[in-house]
């Protein structure tokens, strides 16, 4: 069985669907997980979907992904703008990294316009709401296809 795509979610995403629905929508994180699992099946992939409010847990999972995943889809949420530790872990993972944001950080407050995670990302998908996760999985499938063909 091929390695899964780790889909990692940062702080406050456990409140998706109830926190600022005018910005983040009304879909819950459990619904996003179900959608990711369904999309992965159509792409011939599997996902390992996780969420934590703790920076260290995210760093640990990125380090785990280095040997147990074929790619990382990450919505680092607020840690995008503050976590050099997450940046360093993503660089060390040596995997395709797709950064996802539900909103468009470039159209929001100034402090949201810089992402440390983007420095390690293969690509960034922002502003498409929860559809961004499907787009990220599509990108991951394309990025890992040559590696998957060799296994």
Catalytic residues: 24, 101
Whole-angstrom distance, CA of residue 142 vs CA of residue 34: 21
**Contact (Cβ atoms closer than 8 angstroms) between residue 80 and residue 103:** no
Start-to-end C-alpha separation, the chain: 9
Transcribe 71-111 into DSSP letters.
EEEEE-GGGGGT-HHHHHHHHHH-S-EEEEESS-GGGS-GG
Angle between helices 29-42 and 131-149 (to 10 degrees): 30
């Amino acid at each position: 069985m091929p390695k899964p795509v780790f889909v990692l979610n940062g702080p406050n995403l456990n409140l998706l669907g109830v926190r600022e629905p005018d910005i983040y929508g009304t879909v819950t994180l459990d619904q996003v997980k179900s959608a990711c699992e369904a999309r992965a099946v159509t792409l011939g992939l599997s996902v390992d979907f996780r969420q934590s409010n703790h920076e260290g847990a995210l760093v640990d999972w990125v380090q785990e992904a280095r040997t147990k995943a074929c790619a990382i889809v990450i919505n680092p949420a607020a840690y995008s703008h503050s976590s050099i530790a997450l940046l360093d872990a993503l660089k060390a993972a040596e995997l395709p990294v797709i950064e996802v944001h539900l909103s468009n950080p470039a159209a929001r407050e100034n402090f949201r316009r810089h992402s440390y995670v983007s420095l390690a990302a293969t690509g960034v998908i922002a502003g498409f709401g929860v559809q961004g996760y499907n787009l990220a999985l599509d990108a991951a499938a394309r990025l890992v296809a040559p590696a998957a063909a060799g296994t």
